[in-house]
């Protein structure tokens, strides 16, 4: 073992020894005190399994001065650099260095945690692990300059309430006149430290760290710091589903590209993490004498496919249609990679439209169709893709308007009220109720404000026709709805009687009956009971059963020969009795 010397050739080494003994611990004391109050230290340690029984567990002599049951309080000034670093590392996660605990920072890494690592390395390299009692001037100038930079940054860091002026302490050490008594004290401390190091020989030590939550499809990296005397000869990465039964990882496989099993700096890389990688991991280290296993870390892989909602806006004046797409992500999901619209299942090339179709981007997933014409009719869908998968929106059908009669009401004032539902993308350009007399050929627009049609409206999505029942005998009525793609006309029968009775009587099959009645507008698509009656009367059993299926699918009213379940028994009996 080397002994500090007071000769000029060893002065550099003596300065480093004094800085390691009397300066390095000062900022660490302040940093720990700023993040963990002395009255809270016992409870913080008591809730940290790593310090109690893990790889970084406190030694007996360390517990004696820091793990004091309340109301006793520890004296941080009694803690050496080893204990201070261990407590900061395990109790202050916000101070995690850029490269992780136990790793040498890069020159550009200047966070507070990075400088804590530099203080540890300074002490270890030039005090605990010194193999010579001399340091050349050129080497000393470099390390001393680096130490000054570290001290200056910590001094000015807002997270550190400095109890002393570290820079002034550093200047005082640099100008210190060493005595034989002081050098003897240093020699005793060096012997004690090396004795602790010797006691812990033969047992490999390994710590692994990982960003425990990663997005699906992103890189996951597990780093390790290995300490071993004698040097480690083998490291093996292992994984487990249940945390009990571990299996060795073949890091040569493509899904672990970038990993290595270099004994002193092993690394496990998962280039594109999936839900299959949501496992427990650990590292086994062997030297010539013994082996050691790290603590287990769990990798949590999160993510969901994109969410999509769509709507539309029609600009009638500009003959323009906007298919609005809203794409969102749940928290902890990977970013959107691509968005695109399809028409009838085919991906739309907006760039080849000559500017008629707007560009669709991740930031603006809506599609604008300018100068809308009949060629634009079709089924449109928006698709969004991320690393987890893709989501496709519901269909937006661009077509001529869809018109259906929702219900008919007989009012007490002698009027009949017809309610219509219009489904149209793009929005209708024109909606109009019209009527014509029994002997007329042309429909004439109805005056919605007239006394005969009071309550009639042409507004979308539910136009309403209110007409006197007496008019139904003499007039036919229709509604006309027009959009960019064409016109749809739906008619209301002028009466509830069959005009062409002879044709109905001479019909040879059920389909001919239905055709005649439909042409005279005596039933709608939801008049299933009427259809069932005709099927039953004409013996069309196959069509009869299809009526029930149709009614169940389209939520229309129908009746059953036999109740399908017991919950309908009462309703069925009421029907029979009435």
> pLDDT tens digits, the chain, 578 residues: what are they?
444 444 545 778 888 888 888 899 999 999 999 999 999 999 999 998 888 876 678 888 899 999 999 999 999 999 999 899 999 999 999 999 988 887 788 999 999 999 999 998 888 776 544 556 677 888 888 889 999 999 999 998 867 788 889 999 999 988 888 777 777 777 676 666 655 554 445 567 788 888 878 999 999 999 998 877 678 889 999 999 998 999 999 999 999 999 999 988 899 999 999 999 999 999 999 988 788 898 899 999 999 999 999 999 999 999 999 999 999 999 999 999 999 999 999 999 999 999 999 999 999 999 999 999 999 999 999 999 999 999 999 999 999 999 988 767 777 778 888 999 999 999 999 999 999 988 888 999 999 888 889 899 999 999 999 998 888 878 889 999 999 999 999 887 545 566 667 777 777 776 777 777 766 666 655 567 777 777 777 778 778 778 777 777 665 666 666 655 544 444 444 444 43
Write down the residue that tokens 């010797």 correspond to: 198
With both helix axes pointing from N to C terminus, report the angle between 11-22 and 166-174 in degrees, rounded to the nearest 10: 150
Residues 6+ apart with CB under 8 A from 46: 52, 67
Cα 423 to Cα 397: distance, rounded to the nearest angstrom: 10
Cα 54 to Cα 312: distance, rounded to the nearest angstrom: 59
For residue range 241-279, what is the model confidence (pLDDT) as tens digits?
998 999 999 999 999 999 999 988 899 999 999 999 999
The pLDDT of residue 210:
87
- How far are the Cα atoms of 43, 85, 88, 273 from residue 91, in angstroms, in the given order? 11, 10, 5, 29
Topology given in CATH for the domain delimited by 402-492: Immunoglobulin-like (2.60.40)
DSSP string, 505-535: HT--SHHHHHHHHHHTT---TT-HHHHHHHH
CATH number among 3.40.50.300, 2.60.40.10, 3.40.50.1970, 1.25.60.10, domain 318-396: 2.60.40.10
205-302, which class in CATH?
mainly beta
pTM check: above 0.85:
no
Residue extents of the structural domains in the chain: 8-199, 205-302, 318-396, 402-492, 501-577
Q: Which of 379, 364, 392, 367 is nearest to 306 (CA)?
A: 392
205-302 and 318-396 in the same fold: yes
DSSP string, 401-461: PEEEEEEEEE-TTSEEEEEEEEE-SSPPSEEEEEEEETT-SS-EE--TTSGGGTT-B--SS
For residue range 358-383, what is the model confidence (pLDDT) as tens digits?
999 999 999 999 999 999 999 999 99
Cα 448 to Cα 252: distance, rounded to the nearest angstrom: 80
Cβ pair 237, 223 in contact under 8 A = no
Cα 190 to Cα 198: distance, rounded to the nearest angstrom: 12
């Amino acid at each position: 073992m080397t002994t500090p010397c007071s000769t000029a050739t060893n002065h550099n080494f003596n300065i480093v020894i004094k800085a390691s003994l009397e300066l390095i611990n000062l900022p660490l004391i302040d940093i720990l005190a700023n993040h963990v109050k002395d009255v809270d230290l016992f409870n913080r340690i008591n809730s940290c399994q790593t310090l109690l029984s893990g790889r970084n567990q406190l030694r007996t002599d360390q517990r004696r001065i820091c793990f004091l049951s309340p109301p006793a309080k520890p004296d941080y000034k009694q803690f050496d650099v080893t204990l201070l670093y261990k407590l900061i590392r395990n109790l202050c996660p916000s101070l995690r260095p850029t490269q992780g605990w136990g790793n040498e920072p890069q020159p550009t890494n200047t966070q507070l945690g990075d400088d804590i690592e530099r203080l540890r390395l300074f002490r270890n390299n030039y005090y605990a692990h010194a193999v010579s009692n001399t340091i050349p001037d050129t080497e000393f100038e470099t390390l001393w300059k680096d130490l000054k930079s570290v001290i200056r940054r910590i001094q000015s860091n807002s997270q550190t309430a400095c109890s002393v002026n570290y820079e002034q302490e550093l200047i005082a050490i640099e100008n210190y006149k060493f005595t034989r008594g002081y050098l003897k004290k240093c020699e005793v401390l060096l012997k004690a430290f090396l004795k602790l190091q010797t006691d812990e020989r033969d047992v490999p030590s390994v710590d692994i760290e990982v960003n425990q939550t990663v997005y699906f499809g992103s890189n996951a990296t597990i780093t390790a710091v290995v300490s071993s005397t004698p040097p480690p000869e083998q490291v093996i990465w292992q994984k487990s589903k249940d945390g009990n039964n571990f299996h060795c990882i073949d890091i040569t496989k493509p899904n672990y590209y970038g990993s290595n099993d270099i004994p002193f700096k092993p690394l496990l890389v998962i280039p594109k993490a999936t839900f299959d990688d949501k496992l427990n991991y650990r590292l086994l280290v062997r030297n010539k004498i013994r082996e050691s296993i790290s603590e287990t870390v769990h990798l949590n892989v999160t993510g969901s496919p994109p969410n999509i909602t769509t709507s539309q806006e029609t600009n009638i004046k500009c003959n323009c249609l906007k298919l609005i797409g809203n794409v969102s992500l749940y928290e902890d999901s990977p970013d959107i990679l691509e968005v695109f619209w399809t028409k009838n299942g085919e991906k739309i090339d907006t760039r080849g439209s000559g500017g008629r179709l707007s560009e669709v981007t991740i930031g603006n997933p809506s599609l604008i169709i300018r100068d809308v014409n009949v060629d634009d009719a079709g089924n449109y869908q928006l698709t969004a893709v991320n690393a987890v998968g893709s989501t496709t929106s519901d269909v937006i059908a661009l077509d001529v308007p869809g018109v259906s009669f929702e219900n008919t009401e007989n009012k007490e004032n002698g009027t009949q009220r017809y309610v219509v539902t219009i489904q149209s993308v793009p929005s209708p350009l024109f909606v109009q109720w019209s009527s014509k007399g029994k002997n007329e050929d042309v429909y004439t627009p109805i005056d919605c404000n007239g006394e005969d049609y009071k309550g009639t409206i042409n507004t979308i999505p539910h136009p309403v026709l209110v007409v006197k029942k007496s008019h139904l005998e003499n007039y036919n009525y229709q509604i006309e709805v027009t959009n960019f793609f064409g016109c749809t006309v739906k008619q209301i029968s002028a009466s509830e009687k069959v005009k062409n009775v002879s044709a109905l009587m001479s019909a040879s099959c059920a389909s001919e009956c239905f055709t005649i009645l439909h042409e005279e507008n005596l039933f709608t698509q939801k008049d299933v009971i009427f259809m069932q009656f005709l099927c039953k009367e004409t013996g069309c059993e196959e069509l009869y059963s299809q009526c029930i299926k149709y009614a169940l699918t389209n939520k229309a009213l129908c009746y059953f020969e036999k109740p399908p379940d017991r919950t309908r028994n009462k309703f069925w009996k009421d029907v029979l009795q009435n």
